[in-house]
């Protein structure tokens, strides 16, 4: 009973004008630990909705998500999330952002600092650890977000177009970093993207979604 199971998930919500939207219809995905799944699809196909359901921010109207046999009811630290951008805390510096998860767990200062320093080495931001996050470039910010997510040691990492806002060169470097981290840590990763190239490059498995209603396109 290990791995992430998405079982027959459907999402349908009412609109104020009396209509309804079928955002997702009957989606089932089975992910083994250590798999990297790319979810590809045009905008509006429900891929972010699906990710939000997996993360626990939304409750599906039908079906269920289980992680390692436990049903998902809300957000939790075992499912880390990397957002497109703007999810870093500006009131904390790079070090504090990365150390946020361990701090929430009440980890002592010393082991926390070790984790933070190690991860900043991994993403190559050691020299920037006392900088304010708004002083960093977009690519550096996403590296901080990645390190912050890893610091919490989640079982699954959910990425919602994390490289979408980056320029082509930075993006290529970041893709290499994601791939390297995946190989080194062996985490289960769900990556959402609208770039075919990125999906093919990163995805060990690839799912293409179609819109209205959001479903897996075979």
- Residue 41 or 154 with smaller CB distance to another protein: 154
Residue 155 φ/ψ region, left for φ over 0, alpha for ψ in the -120 to 50 degree band, beta for the rest: alpha
Shortest Å distance, C-beta 135 to another protein: 9
Q: Binding to another protein by residue 141, rule CB under 8 A?
A: no
Q: Which of 47, 112, 129, 148 touches another protein (CB under 8 A)? A: 148
- Residue 80 or 214 with smaller CB distance to another protein: 80
Shortest Å distance, C-beta 196 to another protein: 25
- Residue 16 or 86 with smaller CB distance to another protein: 86
Q: Binding to another protein by residue 152, rule CB under 8 A?
A: yes
Report the alpha-carbon distance of residue 41 to residue 185 in Å, rounded: 27
Distance from the Cα of residue 171 to its chain's centroid: 16
Look at the block and give the residue holding tokens 């083994």: 32
- Residue 85 or 195 with smaller CB distance to another protein: 85
Q: Which of 149, 166, 192, 199 touches another protein (CB under 8 A)? A: 149
Q: Binding to another protein by residue 13, rule CB under 8 A?
A: no
- What 3-state DSSP class applies to 86? coil
Name 103's Cβ contacts closer than 8 Å, sequence gap at least 6.
96, 112
- What 3-state DSSP class applies to 198? helix
E strands within 61-187? 62-67, 70-71, 79-82, 156-160
Q: Which helix (H) or strand (E) holds 60?
A: none
- Residue 60 or 154 with smaller CB distance to another protein: 154
Structure letter (DSSP) for residue 211 = T
- x/- map, 56-95, another protein, by CB under 8 A: xx----------------xxxx-xxx-xx-xxxxxx----
Q: Which residues bind another protein (CB under 8 A)?
A: 55-57, 74-77, 79-81, 83-84, 86-91, 100-101, 104-105, 132, 134, 145, 148-149, 152, 154, 158
């Amino acid at each position: 009973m290990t791995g992430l199971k998405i079982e027959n998930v459907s999402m349908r919500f009412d609109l104020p004008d009396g209509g309804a939207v079928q955002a997702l219809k009957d989606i089932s995905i089975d992910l083994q630990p250590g798999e990297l799944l790319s979810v590809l699809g045009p905008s509006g196909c429900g891929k972010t909705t699906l990710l939000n359901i997996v993360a626990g921010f939304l409750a599906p109207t039908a079906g269920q998500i289980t992680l390692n046999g436990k049903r998902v009811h809300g957000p939790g630290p075992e499912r880390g999330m990397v957002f497109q951008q703007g999810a870093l805390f500006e009131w904390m510096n790079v070090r504090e952002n990365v150390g946020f998860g361990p701090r929430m767990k009440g980890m002592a200062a010393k082991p926390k600092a070790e984790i933070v320093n190690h991860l900043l080495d991994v993403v190559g931001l050691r020299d920037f650890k006392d900088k304010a996050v708004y002083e960093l470039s977009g690519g550096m910010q996403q590296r901080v977000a990645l390190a912050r997510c890893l610091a919490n040691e989640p079982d699954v990492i959910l990425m919602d177009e994390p490289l979408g806002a980056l320029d082509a060169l930075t993006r290529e470097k970041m893709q290499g970093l994601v791939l390297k981290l995946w190989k080194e840590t062996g985490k289960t990763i769900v990556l959402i993207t609208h770039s075919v190239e990125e999906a093919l490059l990163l995805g060990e498995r690839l799912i293409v979604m179609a819109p209205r209603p959001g479903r897996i396109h075979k």
